[in-house]
Amino acid sequence: MNLAKAAMSEAGTVFVVDDDPAVRDSMALLVRSIDLPVETYGSGSEFLDAYDDRMSGCLVLDVRMPGVSGIEVQERLAALGSTLPIVFITGHGDVSMAVRAVKAGAIDFIEKPFNDQELLDKIHEALALDRATRRQTDELHLIEARIASLTPREKQVMELVVEGVANKVIAHRLEISQRTVEIHRASVMRKMKVDSLAQLVRVVVAADGRPPLP
């Protein structure tokens, strides 16, 4: 893969779903004009059939389409756990539907006929969000793998350390020596690749899905 293609791959793909061929072609041409990869689909069901959870980028989706509507596509993707950011394209009469879609998690909506730069700005915003989300997911998987590498006793010690329990108290609760607690604690820090208790707390909180500490 050459550098240009690698950069395009890293940026993600813009998936355009619209039942109007002229609109699809126009948006595809616009996206390619800024050197981004694009794929077009003529219906919601066509996109859902092609959907893969490894897709990265963003979805530019028409609200009102025959068969499976844009709102239904959004709902089905949410049910699949998709984090693919969505920018809706809507006609004037469908604004209330688009507002509902935004409340359900879409990035934004743009009314037809849309301004090219406005659409590109929203696409860039959506792509940036997707990259950030994928980075967070990758980091979470890394943390989970590190936690999985701990022994059962190390996990016990880590959980108590994160709760703020002192080594002496941990030793009493687990019926082991304080020196053994210190050894396990050092091993936890090494395996989790953290340098401080604050870092350890943050990564464990992230893995648990709890709100981050201030």
Q: What's the pTM?
A: 0.72
Q: Does residue 57 register a pLDDT over 50?
A: yes
**Per-residue model confidence as pLDDT tens digits over 114-172:** 889 999 999 999 999 999 998 888 888 899 999 999 999 999 999 999 999 999 999 99
- Considering the domain architecture, whether residues 77 and 176 belong to the same structural domain is answered as no
Q: Residue 214's pLDDT is what?
A: 40
- Considering the domain architecture, whether residues 112 and 183 belong to the same structural domain is answered as no
- Considering the domain architecture, whether residues 22 and 74 belong to the same structural domain is answered as yes
Contact criterion met (CB below 8 Å) for 105 and 73: no
Domain that holds residue 177: 149-208
Tell me the CA end-to-end span of the chain in Å, nearest whole number. 42
The label of the residue with tokens 């590109």 reads 120
Contact criterion met (CB below 8 Å) for 12 and 58: yes
The label of the residue with tokens 């304080």 reads 178
Q: Does residue 7 register a pLDDT over 90?
A: no
- Considering the domain architecture, whether residues 25 and 60 belong to the same structural domain is answered as yes
Tally of domains within the chain = 2
Confidence of residue 59 (pLDDT cuts 50, 70, 90): very high
Our CA dihedral for 23, 24, 30, 32, rounded to 10 degrees, sits at -170
Write down the mean pLDDT value for the chain: 88
Distance (Å, whole) CA 86 – CA 88 = 6
178 belongs to a structural domain: yes
- Per DSSP, helices labelled H in the chain are 3-11, 21-32, 44-50, 70-79, 95-103, 116-148, 152-162, 167-174, 178-191, 197-208
141 belongs to a structural domain: no
Q: At which of 110, 134, 158 does a domain end?
A: 134
